[in-house]
Each structure stands twice: as structure tokens, then as C-alpha cells.
Amino acid sequence: MSAHDETTATTTIPTDTDRLAAAAWSRVAEPTDAAACALIGVLGPAPAWQWLSDGADPAELLHGDLAQPARRVITQARERWLPRVGDATPEADLDHIIRLGGAYIVPGDPEWPEILTDCADAPWGLWVRGQRQRLRDLGEDTLALVGARAPTRYGINATHAITAEAARAGHGIISGGAYGIDTAALRTALAYDVAVASVFAGGLDRWYPAHNASLFDGLIASGVAISAYPPRSRPARWRFLDRNWLIAALSAGTVVVEASARSGALNTAAHVRELGRHVGAVPGPIDSVMSHGCHTLLREGAQLITSGRDASEMIRPLGATRPARLPKRRGLLDGLDAHAARTLDAMPVASAASVSAIVRAAGLSASDVMVALAHLELAGRIAREGSMYRRVPTPKD
């Protein structure tokens, strides 16, 4: 049985109710909302949506005694989500994307990207337009190319050369849709018969930036446009940062071609490292502001990329004809924010600990630890035993 067959055989097929609920959640909660990810991950989208609609007690919903910090976090999150509940029109949103020739893909669908199954905070659904079967091709053999919106000629030429060589080697290419490096990578990749994808920071009913509309029309003819946001969602500034996480998560490695010291591409690189994926950077002239960010990444350990072959070898063992598979097991701290990761790491491996003991071991404030414990409990990473907390064993523990 192939890896694809094994995945399909053990995956729960989503129901229409699941899809509608996931679509509703995509209108109410941002895709990187940790509380929403934890709640939906534990309960599933439909029961979680039922709770949000009915206002059931969080402890009843989770079929057990819920620690007060976790109860408080989820109650506060509900207050954050409720103002948007009236905007949730999942049937209309699904009809809208279908009329655009697209679909809403959720875990369990055959098109769902397998690489996202390893991400603790993966979105609960993806809005797509174009050749959605290409989603399955994204993953361990895919390279992301990102960089400046106003690159130099050197940066554009480097992007063309690296993308073309990587595509000829069979790598899928993913990027954002911004001007500059993103545009150059997509235009080059579309000339090759490989998976090409662009991730958007708003709804797919209106191309952004509008001047790239012809590029995006070409993209959906042979590649795929992806968003975690439903139709009619505007591309707000914070959503570009969330979009960067999805670019990182859908690729095995990311190449930053040109980036200033404050470039958004560095945010993508940070997400790549948090996910345990490969980061590469293209060097540039030492007096070029547009290479300062790349040089910083190189000093911090990013791989030096000067060609498509370098990019290929970054994610494939030297001489391999197929990429090395990414690990299937979740690492202990994968998908956690800094405080939650530090709190979990400070807890004993095989015994329970009091809050005060965890505070001392983590070196965080009591309030920070209490919030972190609440998120960890919601995510199923720890369990409460009276006034003590214990790790929930993972396959690696």
C-alpha cells in the first residue's frame, strides 16, 4: 500500500456538516487563533461551532472537569468570536467559491495537502481556485521563494534562475502573490509542468494586488490559488503575516531571495524555522539594502543558495532522486507559541507538577504560565490532576 493509500485509509471522510461548520469558523476566527485551533482540533468543527452558537459550558463540551485557566481562556475567546458570528454565512460562501470554479477543501478530502497533517496549528480548511488536485502535490518536494516587493534587477534575475532550475528538477513552487520576488517566481514556474501555488491574504473572489490579475488568471489555469479566508475577506495587514505561515507550512524549504532588514519575508523565514523546515538565503552585494535581511539569515545559519541546485539539495539528500520524507511524528514543542513551548518543556516528563514548580522551572511569570497551561490543556498536550499538571504522552515521550 502506498503512503497516499495509507493516509486515505485512516482519514475520516468529512461530512457536509463538518464542511459547513469549518467554513463558518473561517469567517469567525483568524486561521492562527490558537484557541480556535485547539478547540476545533479537540472537538471537530461541527461540535465546536455548536458550542459557539449555543453557549454551552466549556467543561460539558470537553466531557470532563476543565481547569479554571482553560475555562477562562476559552470563555474569553468566545467573547472575541461572538461579534463575528452574525457574519458567518457558510452556505453562501461555499456557493460563492463554487461559482468561481473553486472549492473549500478540509482535512479528509483527497486533495488535502498531506504535509499539513504534521502541523499542530494547521487551518481547518482551505479555500482554493484552479487545479485543486495540485494541492496533493505540495509538500516534501515543494520550494517556497519569497522576498522583496521592490527588488533590484539582481534579485529578479536570481529569482528567475533559481526557480527555473528548481522547476526543471521537478520541484513544486509556492509563493505569495505580491509584486517583486513573488511575481517573478510564479511567472517563471508557470512555464513548467510542476505544481505551482500562490497563497493569498484575503478572499479569492477579488485578486490582490489587482494589477497581477492576469498572472493569477494564468495561475488558476494550471496551478492553484489558496487562502485560509472565505470570499469577501479583505487582505488586512495582519493577514499577510498569517499568510506567510501557510506558505512556510506548505513547503519543505523556503528560499529568501532579497529582503531588507524589515522585510515580511523574514517573518516567513521565522515560521519556517518554527516548523522545523529548511531556510535558505541568496547572498547579495554587501552595500545593497535589499540584501541585508538575507545576510542576517545567513549569519543565523540559513543555507547559502546561489542556484536551483542549491535549493534542491537543501531539501533533498545529495544525489537522491526523491526527497527525504518529512518526519510524521509531531515534535514535543511543534506548533506552540514561545510561552506554551517553554512551559511544556519545563514540566517533568513522567510526573505531575504544581503551578508554582512549573513557574520556577520555566522562569516565567505566574500569569504567563497559567495562560500557557490553559492553551496546553485545550490542545490536549497536558492533563490536570487536582491542582497539579502532567504531560500527556506523545509517541516520542
pLDDT tens figures, 16-74: 999 999 999 999 999 988 888 888 887 889 989 988 887 666 556 655 555 666 677 77
Query: Could you tell me which residue, 360 or 285, shows the higher pLDDT?
Result: 285
CA atoms within 13 A on the CB side of 272: 28
**Residue 103: inside a domain:** no
What is the per-residue pLDDT for 57? 63
Residues 6+ apart with CB under 8 A from 336: 120, 344, 375, 376, 381
Q: Specify if 23 maps to a domain.
A: yes
Residue 105 domain flag = no
Query: What CATH number did the domain enclosing 311 receive?
Result: 3.40.50.450
Please provide residue 283's backbone torsions phi and psi, each rounded to the nearest 5 degrees. Answer: -70, 160
Whether residues 227 and 342 fall in one domain: no
Domain-embedded: residue 237 = yes
Average pLDDT of the chain?
Answer: 86
More confident site: 360 or 283:
283
Residue that is last in its domain, among 281, 315, 349: 315
- In this structure, the answer to whether residues 175 and 310 fall within a common structural domain is yes
Give CA–CA dist 278/272, Å, rounded: 7
DSSP state of 10: T
Instruction: Pick the range with the lowest mean pLDDT from 169-173, 238-242, 259-263, 367-371.
Output: 367-371
Residue numbers of the domain that contains 131: 114-315
Q: What is the pLDDT of residues 81-126, one digit of tens each?
A: 988 999 999 999 999 999 999 999 999 999 999 999 878 778 999 9
Distance, CA of 181 to CA of 160 (rounded, Å): 9
Q: Grid coordinates representing 351?
A: 510526573
Same domain, 211 and 259: yes
84 and 209 part of one domain: no
Residue 145, φ and ψ in degrees, nearest 5: -120, 125
- Are residue 61 and residue 118 in the same domain, yes or no? no
pLDDT at position 290 over 60: yes
pLDDT tier, 249 (very low <50, low <70, confident <90, very high otherwise):
very high
Q: What is the pLDDT of residue 7?
A: 37
Scanning the structure block, which residue is given the C-alpha cell 502532567?
390
Is there a single domain that holds both residue 311 and residue 346? no
Flag whether 256 is in a domain.
yes
Contacts of 238 (CB under 8 A, 6+ apart): 30
| Residue 257: strand, helix, or coil | coil
| DSSP β-ladder status, 388-391 and 353-354 | antiparallel
Report which of residues 286 and 371 the model is more confident about: 286
Tell me, what's the pLDDT at 321? 46
Residue 101 lies inside a defined structural domain of this protein: no
Number of helices (H), then strands (E), belonging to the chain: the values are 17, 12
Position 145 confidence tier, pLDDT thresholds 50, 70, 90: very high
Q: Which residue has the cell 499542530?
A: 120
Residue 173: predicted pLDDT: 98
pTM recorded for the entire structure: 0.78
Q: Are residues 311 and 237 in the same domain?
A: yes
Give pLDDT, residue 341. 82
Q: What is the pLDDT of residues 198-219, one digit of tens each?
A: 999 999 999 999 999 999 999 9
- As a whole number of angstroms, the distance between CA 197 and CA 131 comes to 10
Tell me, what DSSP letter sits at residue 269?
Answer: H
- Residues 147, 281, single domain; the answer is yes
Residue 144's SS3 state is: strand
Which residues, 6 or more positions from 225, have their beta carbon under 8 angstroms from its beta carbon?
A: 102, 128, 129, 130, 177, 197, 198, 200, 204, 216, 219
Q: How confident is the model at residue 325, as a pLDDT?
A: 35
Number of domains in the chain: 3
Per DSSP, the three-state class of 78 is: helix
Question: What is the Cα–Cα distance from 37 to 312, expressed in whole angstroms?
Answer: 32
